[in-house]
Chains A and B, each alone.
Chain A
């Protein structure tokens, strides 16, 4: 199975700041990577797919980048509604696997 190592596990930032979350795959996943946002008590929602494509309705302050085994999610101009957990997921190989998550809080 492909292991997805996500960092940091938690993150505290101020409103308006830019934050970056990293995800490393244990082997090349050829940009078949998604990022999800999960607000407390809610289902995960797709933010980014194919490593850098914005899902429908997602604000442009979210962006994804990376290739091979290294990927990142950047959130510009942090808003209060961005408080959530964020997960990466590879869909290049079965079984599809997720990172353990990053919990984002506002300072």
Chain B
């Protein structure tokens, strides 16, 4: 069955770089796109960016200068790197599978990883 699982550090120092990995199973990264979505506690989610099935990327313009998304199809993994972290970057970070169309919602979500930005 389709599964996504995020991994990475739970605590990051201010101004440092966040590195997260999304490991997927049950589908191919060359057939489906994967997005990263984050959610501050008690607030609505925020779409961060997408790794398209063809290897192209799209980013939220609000984060584009700090964000990089890449992948390793041989390992079924998608990576997120975001630099210059601040306290308002604290929240739960999810990777999601895009349903399959060019314009598509997120039909599967990982369990999420809680990231706290604090010294």
Nearest CB in chain B: distance from A89 CB, A = 6
Interface size class of B (residues with CB under 8 A): 20 to 34
Q: When A34-B105, A46-B106, A55-B107 are in contact, do A87 and B44 touch as well, CB less than 8 Å?
A: yes
- Is B32 part of the contact surface with A, judged by Cβ < 8 Å? no
Q: When A95-B60, A99-B44, A101-B44 are in contact, do A32 and B103 touch as well, CB less than 8 Å?
A: yes
Partner-B contacts on A (CB < 8 A): 1, 32, 34, 36, 43-46, 49, 55, 87, 89, 91-92, 94-101
Asked if A94 and B109 make an inter-chain contact with CB atoms under 8 angstroms apart, the answer reads no
| CA A55 to CA B111, docked complex, whole Å | 19
Residues of B within 8 A of A98 (CB): 44-47
16 contacts between A and B (CB under 8 A): A43-B112, A44-B45, A46-B107, A87-B44, A89-B45, A91-B103, A91-B104, A91-B105, A92-B103, A94-B60, A95-B61, A95-B62, A96-B35, A98-B47, A100-B43, A100-B44
Asked if A46 and B45 make an inter-chain contact with CB atoms under 8 angstroms apart, the answer reads no
| CA A1 to CA B62, docked complex, whole Å | 10
Residue of B45, B58, B61 most packed against chain A (CB within 10 A): B45
Partner-A contacts on B (CB < 8 A): 35, 43-47, 58, 60-62, 94, 99, 103-107, 109-112
Q: When A96-B47, A100-B43 are in contact, do A46 and B105 touch as well, CB less than 8 Å?
A: yes
Q: Say what secondary structure dominates the interface of chain A.
A: loop
Asked if A43 and B94 make an inter-chain contact with CB atoms under 8 angstroms apart, the answer reads yes
Nearest CB in chain B: distance from A37 CB, A = 11
Nearest CB in chain B: distance from A55 CB, A = 7
Residues of B within 8 A of A44 (CB): 45, 94, 106, 109
Partner of B105, one of A89, A95, A101: A89
